Amino acid sequence: MPSRHRHIFWDMGGTLVDTYPELNQALADTAQRHGAAVPVDDVAALTHTSTRHAIDALAARTGLPAAVFEQANTDLKRRWESNPPPVMAGARELMADVRAGGGLNLVITHRDRTSAEALVAALALRVDDMVCAPDGFPRKPDPTMVQLLLQRHGLDVDDCIFVGDRPIDAEAAHAAGMASALLHKEPGHPADHWHRIDTLDDLRPLLHLEPA
């Protein structure tokens, strides 16, 4: 019987909020407008590593200045302040059930704080705390942000699980001694240190939730 966890540490983009489709399309459209067609599936493969990696790789591939893609990303973040991307299916309900069971919903993201807080506000998400790497913390897979939230809230690591969509999320959790689950894990990665889930509802058997 797997351990049952009370608190969730959430990755934001691609896990809590479905940001990738609009980001991928915005970057592909930008290349297209400048006469350098790049299939959106190719963009998606790049953004899954990081937005920074995608921008640098697209600039190298197309010969366009990185600033062109950076501006597209900035413009998209501004649009999201009033017209945000959707919350990932099942996330609101799961967060509510965690909260009802006395657990915390904590966010760890590489997104800058202004953008992250704007998304949380626009989507009316109830988040108990959030740590953003651009505030001065090393990026995942470094476990510093995980450890910070554990210490800040006085949590037992065994009561917590990190849910993300990239191996670096699981690696950060593992380095902090925390269980983790990866959503839509791409084939080919070993799963020694995390649970495989296809939907957020698949996380429920791993959680200590109040009975319905």
Q: For the whole model, what pTM was predicted?
A: 0.91
Q: How far is CA 89 from CA 95, 183, 200, in A?
A: 11, 11, 7
> What is the pLDDT at residue 186?
55
* 84 pLDDT higher than 70: yes
> What is the pLDDT at residue 184?
72
6-33 burial: b if 16+ Cβ within 10 Å, else e: bbbbbbbbbbbbbbbebbbebbbebbee
Mean pLDDT confidence for 45-50: 91
> What is the pLDDT at residue 1?
39
Helix, coil or strand: residue 82 = helix
pLDDT tens digit string along 138-184? 999 999 999 999 999 999 999 999 999 998 999 999 999 999 999 87
Residue with tokens 């020694």: 192
pLDDT tens digit string along 103-139? 999 999 999 999 999 999 999 999 999 999 999 999 9
pLDDT tens digit string along 11-39? 999 999 999 999 999 999 999 999 999 99
> What is the pLDDT at residue 123?
97
pLDDT tens digit string along 167-177? 899 999 999 99
Q: How far is CA 57 from CA 46, 75, 118, 135, 168, in A?
A: 7, 19, 27, 25, 19
Report the distance separating Cα 168 and Cα 190, nearest Å. Answer: 12
Percent of the chain with pLDDT over 70: 93
